[in-house]
Amino acid sequence: MNALPEFFDLSGEVRDALARRSPIVALESTIISHGMPHPQNVDTARAVEQIVRKAGAIPATIAVLRGRVLVGLDDAQLERLANSNDVRKLSTADLPYAVSQRRDGSTTVAATMRCAHAAGIGIFATGGIGGVHRGAERSFDVSADLYELARTPVAVVCAGAKALLDLPKTLETLETLGVPVVGYRTNEFPAFWSRASSLVLSLRIDEADGIAEFLRAQRALGLQSGAVIANPIPAENEIPRDQMNGCIETAARAAEQACVTGKAVTPWLLERINALTSGRSLEANVALVKSNARLAAEIALSLAAR
């Protein structure tokens, strides 16, 4: 195990699992503090940890509390993150501020990848990655998640990118940055709440073992990039794309009118879309995160068995 970076605190079980090289799945915390309302956020966070455990892996939810980077949260820490309105949304660039100012913050996909890698964890489950926003040709709003995927060797199991984004531009950018996007049992880039996007993926692997082999090859080749493991939402939980599109467009127009910018955009849109779908989008979001956690644990188990 590598030397633990300063400012990091690992939970006991994460420390043990690292020492024994047993399977671990990293989990992000922005989805808890900024991605879902209370109490669904904390309920989902707990349920997801439970799924990872049941599958035989150790969950490592990552967040910053009072300036410490925590890898593996206890229940009180989870609750604090889910309940406080003084939790910042931290991307990688925000980590030094939160640490040095001893703040509370939740980590986005980008920051979670970076912290997971520093702790020695290579598999991470979330809902959907950030990406290129609609209208990015005017706003230049492109998530730092994409750049982190280009430079940090952590595999992110997700239901694609949130469909409130511009998915074709997001995929193009991933390609430019040299980030492989592997479809799990799909030929299409999943659209978060919906299974299909009509965007064809060139890489497809249908078994967790195959994905573990792929990740081993990526490391052995000395590639420093991450990977997107794209797992479509389970069919029984999906909201078809034609039903989602109207809501997404309405929410995007409202965000522009309200002049929402920067870090606030994604949480604002998620909340608005949840209202416009009478809660269905949140239900779907919870289901897809659980499904991603299950697959991530399977991949982690397969990697650990090698």
The two three-digit tokens of residue 38, written as one number: 């209370």
Is 249 among the residues known to form the active site? Answer: no
The site partner of 180 among ligand PSU, Mn ion, none (C-beta below 5 to 8 Å per kind) is none
Report, in Å, the least distance between residue 43 CB and Mn ion.
27
Asked if residue 145 binds ligand PSU (CB under 6 A), the reply is yes
Residue 181's DSSP bridge partners are 228
Report, in Å, the least distance between residue 214 CB and ligand PSU.
23
Q: Tell which one of 28, 49, 94, 141 touches Mn ion (CB under 5 A).
A: 141
Is 54 among the residues known to form the active site? Answer: no
x/- map, 94-133, Mn ion, by CB under 5 A: ----------------------------------------
Asked if residue 23 binds ligand PSU (CB under 6 A), the reply is no
Asked if residue 231 binds ligand PSU (CB under 6 A), the reply is no
Distance between CA 303 and CA 306 in Å, rounded? 6
- In Å, how far are 50, 143, 250, 264, 275 from 148, measured between CA atoms? 28, 9, 30, 19, 31
Q: Tell which one of 61, 173, 197, 266 touches ligand PSU (CB under 6 A).
A: 266
Asked if residue 30 binds ligand PSU (CB under 6 A), the reply is yes
Q: Tell which one of 173, 231, 285, 302 touches ligand PSU (CB under 6 A).
A: 285
CA quadruple 269, 275, 281, 287: dihedral sign: positive
Distance between CA 142 and CA 252 in Å, rounded? 15
Asked if residue 166 binds Mn ion (CB under 5 A), the reply is no
Q: Tell which one of 24, 28, 113, 186 touches ligand PSU (CB under 6 A).
A: 28
Helices 280-305 and 265-276: crossing angle in degrees, nearest 10, is: 120
Question: DSSP per residue over 172-212, as a string?
Answer: HHHHHTT--EEEES-SB--BTTBS--S-B-SEEE-SHHHHH
The two three-digit tokens of residue 129, written as one number: 């990655």
Nearest Cα neighbor of 191 from 229, 231, 156 is 231
The residue annotated as part of the active site, out of 49, 89, 148, 162, is 162
| Residues at the contact surface with ligand PSU, assessed by CB under 6 A | 28, 30-31, 34-35, 108-109, 126-128, 130, 143-145, 162, 263, 266, 270, 285
Residues involved in catalysis = 28, 162
